[in-house]
Structure 1
Amino acid sequence: MLKKGCPDEYPINLVVNGFEIAVFQLTNQDLVDWAYGYLYSEGLIDSANDVEAVEFNEGTGTIQVSLNNSFDPEQMFSKKKHYTAGCGRGVTFFSMTDVKNFKKVSSREKYSLSYLLKKRSEFAQNTPLYLETGGMHGACIIHEDGIITVREDIGRHNAVDKIIGYALRKRLQPERLVLLTTGRVSYEMLSKAAKFGFAVIGSRTAATKQAVQLARFLNIEVVGYLRGKMATVYTSSGRVYDDVTGTTVTSKSIERGEVLTIFN
């Protein structure tokens, strides 16, 4: 299928309490959600209540954020930077050791593989920027009632920050949501989801070994390669059950560090 246009990316300058954090390459859409999500993911805010105001000046490409809490830029930038893998190589200030200190996720929600596959397909049909250009990433949350909310961006990390920012602003309960992403689930992607408290993460593609190790440690279910009638379950938290083939998802093979791949 021929695409009509190229994906857009813009240099966006993030300024917090008058201090310039960095310039980010972003898709010029849902930038307020992104600001909330990024600040939360990097530990600059603990809730939406910490944000007094967010203003975007399209002319200068600047997002101005005013925080209610005390923001210490020297403390933030004294931390060691970790460059993320993949598209648009970003920076996070959380190491894997930091992420292991996050609160372990607790949730009694359970989902069938057929349900996740259905929602993944619905997600794919509701990504207008990708359908227009073929060059966008997306992130999606599945609400309790099955309704989905989608955010898109040129970068997979940005898309996840946008959907976390949306959920944060709406005061949604993360343990009752499912996060879906088009991008690879690497350790820093897992850390964003873990910090917010998602119990189940699904992706169209793979999860890295480091992300799976962290997910097991933090009690998060990770399902990859959600495509058609295929899925790979990397973890064994008991929140995802296989109603596609009848194979037990919480099998000993997964507990030994292997994965369960479903084909039908």
Structure 2
Amino acid sequence: MEESLSLKRSIIKYQDTQLLETEDEIVIEFPLTIMINGQEFATMVCSPFHLEELVIGFLASEGVIRFRKEIKDFKLDIGAGFAHIELIQDKFVSQQTFSKRFIGSCCGKSRQFYFQNDVRTAKTSMSKTKITAEQCIQLMKKMQSESIVFKQTGGVHNAALCSSDELIVSRTDIGRHNALDKLFGYSLLNQISVKDKILVFSGRISSEILTKAAKIGVGIVLSKSAPTDLAIKLAEDLNITAVGFIRNGSFNIYSHPERIILENNEEESK
């Protein structure tokens, strides 16, 4: 079904000192405006797939809803690029709160959130999940092996929600935040508990991505790329294990290493 995320386009390719006419697979970019109770809330630029998951995950991430049942009516107008949401409670949803910058401390710790809604919705992880080093490597391999659109276009981010040894669901989008919101939306729509799950991600672990993971509620974030310093600080404060550079059988653990164990340690604990 992912072929709808890209299309073929005629291009000119330079190769071996020559200009050649050929075709390339181009990822599709789609603007989607979210209307809440008749008022414009936000416009997202995304991949036009799993849009209900995307919108629900985004609204939950921003603290507008906590559960799918809080939405009375949900209508997608793909042709016009709109998602019309009617909430059960006709509450006012402020764009200013959604976008207003906030930098402050929380619970005596230096949690440097950029936006006010992050303070309300980012959760300290209570996850007891532990995984082996080899499981980290295999989960990354499994996600990458399913990344068909990335292999075709190189223009999307991939994310997966996993148990310790298998992928539960993977999602693709041109926006790295969107891919995570789709996972969040999927878990809400299917009533999946995420506190014991693992987030596997293709891109850099920025502070925004780490905050998004905290909003979803996972305790372990695995990435094939690097983290930022602020992401590591947030991971330490929010009790999240951040693992990066999962490549060629190795990786780096940047916070809460107690959740990553060696295979022989796991056997001894049984």
Report the TM-score range of the alignment, normalised by the length of the smaller protein: 0.7 to 0.9
1:57-206 aligned at under 5 Å gives the runs 57-74=77-94, 76-78=95-97, 80-82=99-101, 95=114, 99=118, 102-143=122-163, 146-206=166-226
The aligned amino acid for 1:203 is S
SS at 1:231 equivalent: strand
Asked which structure has the greater CA Rg, the reply is: 2
Distance in structure 2 (CA, Å) of the matches to 1:243 and 1:153: 34
Q: Structure 1 216/97 Cα, relative in aligned 2: closer, same or farther at 3 Å?
A: farther
Q: Is the 8 A contact 1:57 1:63 kept in 2?
A: yes
Matched, 1:217 2:232: no
1:5 maps to 2:25 = yes
Q: Which runs of 5+ in 2 are unaligned?
A: 1-21, 103-112, 266-270
Answer yes or no: is the 8 Å Cα contact 1:51–1:65 preserved in 2. Answer: yes
Question: 2:147, 2:158 within 8 Å by CA — same for their partners in 1?
Answer: yes
Q: Which amino acid aligns with 1:238?
A: E
Alignment identity in percent? 28
- Give me the TM-score of the superposition, normalised by structure 1: 0.80
Give the paired residue count. Answer: 233
* 1:62 partner letter: F
Residue type of the alignment partner of 2:91: F
Say which SS state the counterpart of residue 46 (structure 1) adopts: coil
TM-score, with length taken from structure 2: 0.79
The superposition leaves residues 125-153 of structure 1 with CA deviations (integer Å, 9 ceiling, x where unpaired) of: 11222122111111101136623311100
2:186 maps to amino acid:
Y
CA-based RMSD: 2.5
CA apart distance, 1:216: 0.7
2:116 and 2:132 map into 1 onto residues whose CA distance is: 32
- State the AA in 1 paired with 2:114: S
1:113–1:241: 8 Å Cα contact kept in structure 2? yes
CA spacing shift, 1:56–1:11, aligned 2, 3 Å: same
* Equivalent AA in structure 2 for residue 117 of structure 1: I
**Residue 236 of structure 1, CA deviation:** 2.1
Q: Does 1:19 align with 2:1?
A: no
